[in-house]
A and B are shown apart, each in its own frame.
Chain A
Amino acid sequence: MAMTTENAKVPAAACAPQAAAPSAIARFLDSDIWYSFTRSKVTMLAAAITALLILSAVLAPWIAPNNPLDLQTLSLMDGSKPPVWSADGEWKFPLGTDQQGRCVLSSILYGMRISLIVGFLGVLLAATIGIVLGLIAGYFGGKVDSIIMRAADVQLTFPPILVALLFDGTMRALFGTQKSESLIFWVLVISIGLSFWVQYARTVRGSTMVERNKDYVHAARLIGLSKPTILFRHVLPNVMGPVLVIATINLAVAIITEATLSFLGVGLPATEPSLGTLIRVGNEFLFSGEWWVVIFPGLTLAVLVLAVNMLGDWLRDALNPKLQ
Chain B
Amino acid sequence: MLAFIIRRMAQSVVVLLTVALIAFALFRFVGDPTQQMVSQDTSVEERMQIRKDLGLDDPVPLQFLRFIGNAARFEFGVSYQNKQPVAKLIAERFPATMELALASALFALFVGIPMGVFTGLYPNSVVSKLFQMISLIGVSLPTFLIGILLIFVFSVSLGWLPSFGRQGVVKLGSWTTSFLTLEGWRSLVMPAITLGLFQMTLIMRLVRSEMLEVMRTEYIRFARARGLSSRSINFRHALKNTLIPVITITGLQLGSIIAFAIITETVFQWPGMGLLFLQAVQTVDIPIMAAYLLLVATLYVVINLIVDLLYSAVDPRIRISGKAA
Q: Do A and B come from one complex?
A: yes
Q: How far is the CB of A281 from chain B (nearest CB, A)?
A: 12
Chain B residues touching A, majority SS = helix
Decide if B278 touches A264 in the complex (CB within 8 Å): yes
Count of residues in A whose CB is under 8 Å from the partner chain: 40
Are A165 and B140 interface neighbours, CB within 8 A? no
Of the listed stretches A104-112, A132-140, A195-203, A294-302, chain B binds: A294-302
Cα–Cα, bound, A157→B22 (Å): 14
Taking a contact as CB atoms under 8 Å apart, the answer to whether A170 and B293 are in contact is no
**In contact, A302 and B140 (Cβ under 8 angstroms):** yes
Residue of B14, B145, B152, B297 ringed by the most chain A CB atoms within 10 A: B145
Q: Is the CB of B26 within 8 A of A170?
A: yes
* CB neighbours of B262 from chain A (8 A): 161-162, 165, 264
Q: For chain A, what secondary structure do more than half of its interface residues adopt (helix, strand, loop), or is it mixed?
A: helix
Task: Assess whether A95 is interfacial by the CB under 8 Å rule.
Answer: no
Please indicate the chain A residues that have their CB under 8 angstroms from the CB of B189 in the complex: none
Contact with B142, one of A158, A295, A301 (Cβ below 8 angstroms): A301
Do A165 and B148 touch (CB < 8 A)? no
Contact across chains for B148 and A279 when beta carbons are under 8 A apart:
yes
B193 within 8 A of A: no
Residue A268 at the chain B interface, CB threshold 8 Å: no
Is B142's CB under 8 angstroms from A169's CB?
no
Q: Is the CB of B156 within 8 A of A291?
A: yes
**Shortest distance between the CB of B18 and any CB in chain A (Å):** 5
Total number of residue pairs linking A and B with CB closer than 8 Å: 110
Residue A211 CB within 8 A of the other chain: no
Cβ–Cβ contact B30 & A173, under 8 A: yes
**Contact segment of A15-23, A65-73, A232-240, A252-260:** A252-260
With known contacts A166-B293, A283-B148, A309-B139, A173–B15 Cβ distance under 8 A: no
Taking a contact as CB atoms under 8 Å apart, the answer to whether A301 and B152 are in contact is no
Interface size on B, residues (CB 8 A): 45
B318 on interface, CB distance cutoff 8 Å: no
B134 interface contact, C-beta 8 A? no
B289 contacts which chain A residues (CB < 8 A)?
166, 169
From B96-104, B113-121, B179-187, B280-288, the one touching the partner chain is B280-288
- B290-317 toward A: CB 8 Å interface, digit per residue (1/0)? 0001001100110010000000000000
- Residue-by-residue, is A293-324 near B (CB-CB < 8 Å gives 1, otherwise 0)? 01100100110011001100000000000000
Report whether A161 and B31 are in contact in the complex, using a CB–CB cutoff of 8 Å. no
Among B143, B263, B280, B281, chain A packs the most CB atoms within 10 A around the CB of B281
* A169 lies within 8 A of B280 (CB): yes
User: CB distance B286 to A173 under 8 Å?
Assistant: yes
On chain A, the residues within 8 Å of B304 by CB distance are 157
Residue A98 interfacial (CB < 8 Å):
no
Residues of B within 8 A of A154 (CB): 15, 18-19
Do A298 and B259 have beta carbons less than 8 Å apart? no
Contact B145 A298 (CB under 8 A): yes
**Is B284 a contact of A286 with CB atoms below 8 Å?**
no
Partner of A173, one of B31, B141, B148, B156: B31
Known A-B contacts A159-B260, A165-B281; A298 and B143 likewise in contact (beta carbons under 8 Å): no
- B256 at interface, CB cutoff 8 A: yes
Flag B265-290 by CB within 8 Å of A: 1 or 0 each: 01100000000011011111010010
A263, CB-defined interface residue at 8 Å: yes
B149 within 8 A of partner (CB): yes
Chain A CB within 8 A of B151 CB? yes
Known: A157-B304, A172-B284. A162 touches B144 (CB 8 A): no
Contact of B141 among A170, A302, A310 (CB under 8 A): A302
Q: Is the CB of B284 within 8 A of A294?
A: no
The answer to whether the Cβ of B178 comes within 8 Å of any Cβ in the partner chain is no
Of A162, A168, A260, A283, most B-chain CB atoms within 10 Å: A162
- Kindly list chain A residues whose C-beta atoms are within 8 Å of the C-beta of B267: 283
| Nearest-Cβ distance from residue B32 to partner chain A, whole angstroms | 10
Whether B145 contacts A302 by the Cβ 8 Å rule is yes
Contact of B136 with A by CB under 8 A: yes
Q: Could you write out 28 A-B pairs with CB less than 8 Å apart?
A: A154-B19, A157-B297, A157-B301, A161-B262, A162-B259, A165-B262, A165-B281, A166-B293, A169-B281, A170-B30, A172-B281, A174-B30, A260-B144, A263-B144, A263-B263, A263-B266, A264-B263, A286-B152, A286-B156, A291-B156, A298-B145, A302-B137, A302-B142, A302-B145, A305-B140, A305-B141, A306-B136, A309-B136
A residues apposed to B, CB below 8 Å: 150, 153-154, 157-159, 161-162, 165-166, 168-170, 172-174, 177, 252, 256, 259-260, 263-266, 279, 283, 286-287, 289, 291, 294-295, 298, 301-302, 305-306, 309-310
